[in-house]
Structure 1
Amino acid sequence: MGKTNKDTPKEEVKLANTHVPDKVYAYSLQVRHALYELQSCSSNDIVSVEVLEDVAVEKSDGSVDAIQLKSVLSNNNPISNRAKDLWKTLYNWLLSVTNEELDINNTKFTLFITVDRKGTIADSFNSAATFDKAQEAWEAAKQEFYKDTGEEKELSDEYALYIRSFFKPQNKLLASQIIQNFCLKTIKINHTALLYETFCERSMIEEDLGDILFTYMLGWIDKKLSVLVENKQPMCISYQEYRTELIAIRREYNQKQSLKELASRPTEQEVQDEMSALRRYVEQLNVVECDYTEKIEAINDYLRASTNRTIWARRGDISDGNLTSYQETLVKKWDTKRRIISLQYKHLNLSPEELGKLLYLECKNEPINLDHLYVPDFFTAGCYHALSDDVEIGWHPNYKDIFMPGSGLNVQLK
């Protein structure tokens, strides 16, 4: 860089003029909209970027949705009657059909605007559901730019080429067919908010994972498209690829997830009421000579586990199958520890009460996850108490004779 004479005024550099935020936003919009369209795909559908259109969906039945995206970061209206963006889009579609890049009989031409804008011509095209209505819309729109004599009205140089081509008499048939298959979509919230809401809703994402998986899948699409460009391949992502990746990353993050306590802790009154209710799980602790503090702790664990289990099930965090499997695991763990204790401490001649309390403490001291989900400390103990309340398990070696002589139970967690 050469030096500047201090007596010479420095040339002012306006950095803002060197930036092109609209173009950067437009590219990121394509990536994000690819994710948006993948939410509605199925089977062997393929979403492409900058192949047939800004974004296109090639469906398994052979039809195509060609989507032109218009990002608006100002007060500009890209679908006003004389908007360059509108007529350039229609002109490009006309060229694509003429050059047989798009099949007029099998393509939906979608103009997706990232803000809520209106335009009488665009709205009339969107409403023309039949070919006759499309021709009428073409004729009506032509009057915006041509007099009844056929003479041109004043046209801006920035869109004159597009207007002349689209309203050329010999192009009326194809132009009308494009109008018939034309779809205008505008949104009232910003595109990112719409995409996030759609992603969480259609993918049935857990509330805790929404932000994480949304960000990951956007990055995955961006990276995949970049790799395709670098390898000089079309930027196409199949729905099957997308679905496989989403399931894999969702499983991975779920495996790292913990169930969080969502319910309020029991009040002192609720704990005392439970103590006074002569519940079996409390009596089971009495039999093995647990003290008052241990019983209070057990009641808290039982109530917290029961209440949170109900909330988790209602939210869809856990299923009936999860609970059944968890119950079976607890019973197996309990039975294994019971057998080990009876052998390990046989030579010590411990009393039945001591063996029972030892079994209780061993079970209580080992947290057990609910399938792939980490559970709070109280949950395992609370579920053991639920099983002991139903006498599915017990702490005293002779618990069945004490509480339910002659009965065999198979009770589900409640």
Structure 2
Amino acid sequence: MVKKNIYDASASALGYIYQVRYALLLALQKLRNVDDPDNCFISIEILDDIAFEENGTPTELLQAKYHGNAGNLTDRSSDLWKTIRIWSEMMTDPLQTFESATFSLITTESSAPETIASLLSEDKTRRDAGKAVIAMQKIAAETENKTNAAGYSAFNSLELWQQKKLVNSIYIICNSPTIMDVDSKIKKELILSVSDNHVDAFSSRLEGIWFKRAIEVMSSPSENGIGLGEIRSAIDDLRTQFLPSNLPSDYDEVEPEYIDIDNDNRIFVEQLRLLGVNDRVIKNAIINYYRAFEQRSRWSRDGLVKPGELKTYMKILQDEWDNRSSLLEMKCDLSDENQKLDMGKDLYAICQTDGAKPIRPEFKSEYVARGTYHDLSDNRKIGWHPDYDTLLQSSNDKGVA
């Protein structure tokens, strides 16, 4: 087994994942208490690791420090003084106002009694900001610790009233939940939005939406945060997808990494070639086949479909194909090759449009039906050309020869 390098980048990656995941937890908790979600925004890596703004004014700034191994947040901890440096510099920034903001350091580490972390805890029985200021002034006067020098300098540069104001606004939250515990807490926040047996699937989809939006905002020069109203809308939308009459749609915009039409010898592709359709039609078929396969698989993994539901659905589509095919055959002269080609094209077009029956009444994404037809075609349970069985066998015989 390969031994991990202590400087492995995975630790840093976990820190970022923790930060974004913790931000979602805080946003969900905030949603319960905020008066107007549309006027409250959460940002990541803009004002601070995590920050809340209401009506354009910063109200909460948070630093999140994740450590995989147990430890203590000591008075000379680099996590503490890096954070103090950032917040001290904010206090002197003429372009920002933090009059009513609170500053929170959230860490998975513990704190000992009478340490700065303990004196600035949320617990009123232990909290003593006055003592904390004195302790911080004393430590910041030290010169031996080069690692914390910038933090000491920034704190010392503040006027006494600024130091007191800052420290009075600081809350240090130790023993914060681990990255997996945060996941559990997020699910608890969502328990009223979905049935108990589907909360895992619901949470993973919300987190997917959240991570995508967080990356978009952090990458955008014009966006500064995510409105809590947007999160509320995402939850409401997901809630409708998890109703008994619906299912979540996860693959509307997903495509296979690689499409090679010329060398694709799958049977459902060969069935389309029998009709002489163009590459655009084949490409769409490949995409829908992929999306439908992935979607059915995810529904099954997440336990969102009832036992036998997918099998029943495939039978419904097969019956739909059989009915449409029989009606078209009435108008077709099966001795005429051109008419048989036209019939096959018409049958395919109908099954991909009007015949794309949803798996549940409220499910609107047609790629599942379209792609599932191709799954049936790939297993030769249905076909488009009236002579598809014979033609496929002939093609296979030629390939073997």
TM-score category, normalised to shorter length: 0.5 to 0.7
Residue 62 of structure 1 deviates from its aligned partner by 3.7
Assess, with a 3 A threshold, how the Cα gap between structure 1 residues 72 and 117 changes in structure 2: closer, same or farther.
farther
Secondary structure in 2 aligned to 1:16? coil
Identify if the C-alpha distance between structure 1 residues 182 and 48 changes in structure 2 by more than 3 Å, giving closer, same or farther. Answer: same
Query: 2:51 is aligned with what amino acid?
Result: A
Equivalent-residue separation in structure 1 for 2:177 and 2:98 (angstroms): 32
User: Aligned pair 1:56/2:51, yes or no?
Assistant: yes
Is residue 126–residue 184 contact of structure 1 (8 Å, CA) maintained in 2? yes
Aligned to 2:181: 193
Q: Does 2:139 align with 1:137?
A: no
Match for 2:240: what amino acid? R
Matched residue type, 1:47: I
Q: Residue 88 of structure 1 aligns with which residue?
A: 82
Identify which of 155, 162, 185 aligns with 2:144: 155
Of 199, 207, 217, the match for 1:218: 207
1:247 aligns with 2:247: no
Unaligned runs of 5+ in 1: 1-12, 147-151, 259-370, 374-414
- What residue identity is the alignment partner of 2:180? T
Instruction: Determine the C-alpha separation between the residues in 1 that align with 2:138 and 2:7.
Output: 40
| Rg larger for | 1
Match of 1:73, SS?
coil
Q: Secondary structure at the match of 1:99?
A: coil
Q: TM-score, normalised by structure 2?
A: 0.53
CA distance in 2, matches of 1:220, 1:90: 32
Q: Quote the offset at 1:156 in angstroms.
A: 1.4
In structure 1, what is the equivalent of residue 40 of structure 2?
Answer: 45
Q: CA deviation at 1:194?
A: 3.5
Q: Percent identity?
A: 19
Between the aligned partners of 1:24 and 1:107, the Cα distance in structure 2 is: 29
For structure 2, the residue ranges without an aligned partner over 5 or more in a row are 248-360, 364-401
* Alpha-carbon distance change, 229 to 191 in structure 1, aligned in 2, over 3 angstroms: closer
Q: Write the deviation string for residues 27-86 of structure 1: whole angstroms up to 9, x where unpaired.
A: 111210221111123322111111111011113484510010000112443x21110110
The alpha carbon displacement at 1:136 in A equals 4.3
Q: Partners of 1:103 and 1:20 in 2: how far apart?
A: 35
Contact 1:50 1:235 (8 Å CA) reproduced: no
Contact 1:37–1:57 (Cα < 8 Å) also in 2 = no
- The letter for the 1-side match of 2:149 is A
Matches within 5 A, 1:14-413: 16=5, 19-39=8-28, 40-41=30-31, 42=34, 43=36, 44-60=39-55, 62-77=57-72, 79-100=73-94, 102-118=96-112, 120-126=115-121, 134-144=129-139, 146=141, 152=142, 155-168=144-157, 170-187=158-175, 189-201=177-189, 204-205=192-193, 206-234=195-223, 236-255=225-244
Distance in 2 between the 1:188 and 1:237 partners? 23
Question: Distance in 2 between the 1:62 and 1:80 partners?
Answer: 32
1:45 and 1:59 in contact (8 A); partners too = yes
Taking the aligned partners of 1:227 and 1:59, their CA distance within structure 2 comes to 21
Q: Is the 8 A contact 1:128 1:134 kept in 2?
A: no
CA distance in 2, matches of 1:76, 1:227: 34
The TM-score with structure 1 as length reference comes to 0.51
Give the secondary structure class of the aligned counterpart of 1:254. coil
> Counterpart of 1:58 in 2: which secondary structure?
strand
- Distance between the aligned counterparts of 1:118 and 1:372, measured in 2? 55
Whichever residue aligns with residue 45 of structure 1, its letter is C
Give, in angstroms, the shift of residue 165 of structure 1: 3.0
Deviation of 1:112 (Å): 0.8
Secondary structure at the aligned position of 2:146 is classed as coil
Structure 1 residue identity aligned to 2:83: T
Aligned to 1:405: none
Residue in 2 that maps onto 1:397:
none
**What's the CA shift for 1:247?**
0.8
Q: In the TM superposition, what is the alpha-carbon distance from 1:106 to its structure 2 partner?
A: 1.6
Once residues 135 and 15 of structure 1 are traced to their aligned partners in structure 2, the CA distance between those partners, rounded to angstroms, is 43
